[in-house]
Amino acid sequence: MSAPEEPRPIDYPLRDGGRITLESRGFRHPEAVRFAGDAFTPYDRITHVAVSSRSLRVGTERSVYVLNRHAFAREGDAEALVGQLARRVAELPDGMARIARMRGIDRTAAQARPQRVTWALLALCAAVQVLQLLSGDRLQEAGAFSATLVRGGELWRLVTANLLHAAPWLPVHFVLNGLALLTLGALLEWTIGSARTALVMGVSGIGAMGASLWVNYEEAVGASGVVMGVFGALVFLELRHGAELPAQWRLPRSIIWMGICLQLILEGLAWAFLPIIATGAHVGGFVSGFLTAAIVGRPGLRREALGTGLRAANALMAVALVASLASVAAAWREGPDWMRRAEILMREKHVPPLALNNAAWLLATAEDPDPEELDAALLLAERAVQESQRRDPSILDTLAEVHFQRGERSQAVEVIEEAIRIDPREAYYLGQRDRFLGRRAPEDRPGPPAPRRPGPGFNRERPGPLDPSMPEIGV
């Protein structure tokens, strides 16, 4: 008796010259990343096929592959390919059981609900963005993350910093985070539901700012810690439960690994050359989201009812959000208490020179500062100069300004001369010396200096004085 004849390969040509070929045991197709070449997927590894008006997605045990309809060279080949794949899977020894599982996954996909949590968070960030535009720097001053102020008791900053974004008048930071949140948040909310997504986002935001506290960031704002947490949750779900997910809810693993590698490279470059990117917050958010998904992911996939623990955790997150918003509103209304902050800064042991410097500058240059404020400014400025080893001209300039405001002109001239020796070509410091010597009016402070390239001992965190409200770090 002769062996059954194997079916002839079926080719589906693509517009770019490639092809999809159905063979006897599996099919060859382009990888998710086109430059990676072709992949071969056995039929017994296919877990789900999703078809839409724009694409078809083939989910497998190891990844998901996206095939755009317009990529096919012939009309109707996309539908023909889906039919042939279903036929080849059904012909497997356990083919009918596999088809039944696919239909179960289809039912899961049909249960997807609107992304209420994702849109709610995006709307809240947008509202805060508008308030930032209307209030100037005051709202950011009240709600931005600060390791020193969090340690001093202002715990609401662990929450509110996730809602603020840098440079609201040029909303690149907000737009990038918003688009990433909308894309990834929708996938996560479809996959595990709104309640569990809310927990992932809440834990990720606090985890991101908790990591910022651990690495001692003095100022950080932005929702990318939450975005990284959502991405971490999706990575866990793909690695652990990818075969159970609808193909349209999955991220190709080659894209995941490429994204992680690219993020690591960018974070390394940012750490070395652009220290306004909060690497610590990104890592903290990713790890928090990954671990939270490990706890709540499986019940979410099964659409299990919320347990008492999850309800309590979400209620606690809601209380924390409302209390934090109320606290930041009160701080916004009252304005910053720089004397209280000066006390916190002086009490803490490990405070970056930048934070000491900024507080000293704001106290000294406030309208009609009293002697007590100038005394506090002097203590802060002297400590900042000591911590920076007298190598940062902008910090030396702050100490000189404090002496000048206290009427100590000779000390002001002596200190600004130090700054000039470090950066002799900077016109700002020369103008400051003219003020202190009486060659310019006391109120005629020169414009801020141009940013300097980091050199030995130079404080890279702040390009120059006179703009202490600018956030150091965008998350």
Active site residues: 224, 282
> Which secondary-structure segment (H or E) carries 283?
helix 279-301
Structure tokens given for 326? 């109320």
**DSSP bridge pairs for 56:** 51, 67
With a CB cutoff of 8 Å and minimum separation 6, the contacts of 107 are none
First-to-last alpha carbon distance for the chain, in angstroms, is: 70
> Which secondary-structure segment (H or E) carries 315?
helix 308-334
Say how far apart CA 145 and CA 221 lie, in whole Å: 6
Please tell me whether residue 274 adopts helix, strand or coil conformation.
coil
> Which secondary-structure segment (H or E) carries 12?
strand 10-13
With a CB cutoff of 8 Å and minimum separation 6, the contacts of 312 are none
> Which secondary-structure segment (H or E) carries 57?
strand 55-60
CA dihedral 365, 367, 370, 374 (to 10 degrees): 0
With a CB cutoff of 8 Å and minimum separation 6, the contacts of 386 are none
Confirm if 81 and 20 have CB atoms less than 8 A apart: yes
Scored b (16 or more CB within 10 A) or e, 410-428 reads ebbbebbebbbebbeebeb
